[in-house]
Amino acid sequence: MALLGKKNLPAIILAGILVSLLPEFISGQNCGCTPDLCCSQFGFCGTGDAYCGNGCREGPCSGSSGGTGASVADIVTQAFFDGIINQGTGNCPGKSFYTRAAFINAVGSYPEFGTGTSDDSKREIAAFFAHVTHETGFLCKIEEDDGASKDYCDETNTQYPCVAGKGYYGRGPLQLSWNYNYGAAGNSIGFDGLNAPETVATDVTVSFKSALWFWMTNVHSVIGQGFGATIRAINGAIECDGKRPDLVNARVGYYTNYCNQFGVSPGDNLTC
């Protein structure tokens, strides 16, 4: 190892001065930020465009989508979110659980969500919330109706074995179901999906992350094939190919409504 000579001392002093001038809220390059701070593309915690803008890794990111200047946060406004959740009727547990802030926080962990052109971004966001609206009844349901009485244990899946006494029924914005989804989502997000599947119904950020995990794992890759392909990816075995045209048309109705709100064409191949 070469030792530094005296001629390098000014550079060392300058580096020390620059480090001392960094804002106090910056943490190390491994992030681990508190929920109210963004993890920047360089691995520091903070607020503002330098941290929450382009390249933001996690937290309440507001980075541009696909370099177009549009962002998920700009498209999913509080008014848009409220326009969905306020349509829930009766006693809606979701009204005191789901929040736009939690969604924006969760989407920061999935920077590929809503990427592409501005229109591509709007269509993907419209598609995501169309399915969320359908699955939860306007963000009303946190858990599937009578879910505890249903068996969502695939005993043939040895990678993610069911835990006795735990139910893997629908929870969250996309009603995550089955042990293999809970196990894989938990590993990806960082919660014990097999031993504590109820976390998806008690931690709102984990809840939105579980929906985004499912979306990015199973749906994002087919978004370019039209909205119908996203229906098939989510519930095709039950709804597509003429099985439940009423449910398919309901999803399409939400999607076209949200596309209209965003001022974008819904594209072709809407049904499955």
End-of-domain residue from the set 41, 63, 85: 63
Tell me the pLDDT band of 47, cut-offs 50, 70 and 90. confident
Mean pLDDT for the stretch of residues 9-15: 37
Structural domain containing residue 40: 31-63
Q: What is the pLDDT of residue 20?
A: 38
d(CA 51, CA 272): 41
Overall domain count for the chain = 3
Helices vs strands, H then E, count in the chain: 11, 2
pLDDT > 90 in the chain, percent: 70
Bridge partner residues of 46 (DSSP):
38
Is the confidence at residue 138, as pLDDT, over 90? yes
Which one is predicted more confidently, 71 or 4?
71
Tell me the pLDDT band of 15, cut-offs 50, 70 and 90. very low
Residue 5 lies in a domain: no
Examine the domain organization and report whether 189 and 223 are in the same domain. no
Tell me the pLDDT band of 31, cut-offs 50, 70 and 90. low
Examine the domain organization and report whether 132 and 79 are in the same domain. yes
Examine the domain organization and report whether 239 and 181 are in the same domain. no
Examine the domain organization and report whether 121 and 224 are in the same domain. yes
Joined together, the tokens standing for residue 17 give: 């001065």
Residue 6 lies in a domain: no
Which one is predicted more confidently, 270 or 52?
270
The residue type at 12: I
Mean pLDDT for the stretch of residues 107-129: 95
Active-site residues, by number, are: 135
Tell me the pLDDT band of 223, cut-offs 50, 70 and 90. very high
Q: What is the pLDDT of residue 30?
A: 52
Residue 114 lies in a domain: yes
Examine the domain organization and report whether 107 and 215 are in the same domain. yes
End-of-domain residue from the set 160, 186, 202: 202
Examine the domain organization and report whether 224 and 100 are in the same domain. yes
Is the confidence at residue 264, as pLDDT, over 70? yes
Q: What is the pLDDT of residue 88?
A: 87
Q: What is the pLDDT of residue 44?
A: 82
Residue 8 lies in a domain: no
Q: What is the pLDDT of residue 70?
A: 63
Examine the domain organization and report whether 129 and 215 are in the same domain. yes
Q: How far lies 201's CA from each of 169, 182, 218, in Å?
A: 11, 12, 21
Tell me the pLDDT band of 3, cut-offs 50, 70 and 90. very low
Mean pLDDT for the stretch of residues 51-79: 68
CATH of the domain at 133: 1.10.530.10
Mean pLDDT of the chain: 85
Examine the domain organization and report whether 153 and 39 are in the same domain. no
SS (H, E, C) 71-97: CHHHHCCHHHHHHHHCCCCCCCHHHHC
d(CA 65, CA 113): 8
Q: Which of these, 222, 193, 188, lies nearest to 109 by C-alpha position?
A: 188
Examine the domain organization and report whether 132 and 256 are in the same domain. yes
Examine the domain organization and report whether 232 and 134 are in the same domain. yes
Nearest 5°: CA angle at 77, between 172 and 65? 90
Mean pLDDT for the stretch of residues 47-63: 66
Residue 23 lies in a domain: no
Residue labelled with tokens 């300058």: 14
Whether residue 119 contacts residue 264, with contact meaning beta carbons closer than 8 Å, is answered with yes
Which one is predicted more confidently, 224 or 24?
224
Residue 215 lies in a domain: yes
Examine the domain organization and report whether 185 and 233 are in the same domain. no
Joined together, the tokens standing for residue 156 give: 């043939």
CATH of the domain at 58: 3.30.60.10
Q: Which of these, 80, 61, 85, 84, lies nearest to 122 by C-alpha position?
A: 80
